[in-house]
Structure 1
Amino acid sequence: MIEENNAIVEGRLTFHFEPLIQATKYDDWSFYRNQFNNAFGGAKAIDLIVIDSHTTWLIEIKDYRAYQRTKPIDIGDEMLGKVRDTLIGLVAAKFNANDQEEKRVAKRALGTNKLRVVLHLEQPQKHSRLFPRAINPVDVIQKLKQKLKSIDAHPIVVDQFSLKPEMKWTVEG
């Protein structure tokens, strides 16, 4: 599903994009679900691909305000696999997607001048024993910088209150 100049809902969060921004839920693409998902023994997917005039943003969304993280894999390592698989998926979609709109978006995403990686991480504002702030964003950024430097030397970890000025969207929820 391709969303342009609109909003995308992911769980309890709604992402609102400025005009002329193209945003899509990559993990909902027909190409990903029906053609690519089983590649390499199971491909992973970033949640959102957002394209502005010069930049393609790969955005993974994690919201731990109501439920704690239960996956045994480190969140940084999870991100690395999703970024890798999504980039491979975009290249494959550019050439082989059956949906022409997905093929067009993949081509546009791969044609920008810059690639940025974002972990949108919501955690309890007031942590408690029941809902601790278990993930240190600084640790995640450090791991992503080390492992993704050839893709994005400055990956970003944000929540809805710490979006960067270059991000052409807002988040509520």
Structure 2
Amino acid sequence: MEIQEGALTFKFDTANGSLASQYDEWNFYCKQFITIATGTKAVDFIYFDNPDKTCWLIEVKDYRHPETVKIKPSELGEVVAMKVRDTLAGLTAARFSANDAQEKLLANKLLKANRIKVVLHMEQNKRRDKYIDPADVRQKLKQKLRSVDTNPSVVDKNKMKTNMKWTVK
């Protein structure tokens, strides 16, 4: 399954019952859940790796494009952590209240996973004055998300982890 996010194309392995979706475009999120509170946020993608029973929450930031909202590096970990929190709350509500059967099914599968993995996919120019150190962001994510994922990942299309069953072009 392919999902486009800006100039990036994510191709998810959906063999063996694995499922991927662009969560921030779900009908449930956009029309039902977002009305709960001002400022509710969402990660870009959710992926259920069926063989590994892993729920992946994936946020994408592509700083190579000028229209990408600039978030201070010191705030990036906090923003991603809030999106993870709100997404998990949204998935819980969707499991019971989503009107779309596919969204309800995926929420149910994700919430029955054995573990949750958080990924910040961050593409950026290597200009020194604009560069965000992935190690710094990862450290902040580890601090913020330790109750959800003790080992979150910060990757780009050239530095993916072997347990990530998708590619990015």
Return the TM-score normalized by structure 2. Answer: 0.91
Q: Alpha carbon RMSD of aligned pairs, Å?
A: 1.5
Asked whether 1:17 is paired with 2:12, we answer: yes
| Structure 2 contact 19–47 (Cα < 8 Å) conserved | yes
Q: Deviations over 1:62-104 (max 9, x none)?
A: 0001226534571111101100000000000000111111111
- Residue 163 of structure 1 and its aligned partner are, at CA, apart by 0.5
Query: What residue is the counterpart of 1:3 in the other structure?
Result: none
Off by >3 Å, runs of 4+ in structure 1 = none
Query: What residue is the counterpart of 1:89 in the other structure?
Result: 90
Query: What residue is the counterpart of 2:45 in the other structure?
Result: 48
Q: Write the letter of the residue equivalent to 2:155.
A: V
Query: What residue is the counterpart of 1:61 in the other structure?
Result: 60
For 2:37, what is the secondary structure of its paired residue? helix
Query: What residue is the counterpart of 1:152 in the other structure?
Result: 149
Give distance in 2, aligned partners of 1:66 and 1:100.
35
Structure 2 unaligned regions, length at least 5: none
Give distance in 1, aligned partners of 2:145 and 2:24.
21
Q: Percent identity?
A: 49
**Number of aligned residues:** 163
Q: Write the letter of the residue equivalent to 1:119.
A: L
Q: Write the letter of the residue equivalent to 1:47.
A: D
Q: Write the letter of the residue equivalent to 2:54.
A: T
Return the TM-score normalized by structure 1. Answer: 0.89
Query: What residue is the counterpart of 1:127 in the other structure?
Result: 127
Structure 1 unaligned regions, length at least 5: 1-5
Give distance in 2, aligned partners of 1:171 and 1:18.
12
Equivalent of residue 27 in structure 1, options 21, 24, 44: 24
For 1:9, what is the secondary structure of its paired residue? strand
Give distance in 1, aligned partners of 2:81 and 2:144.
7
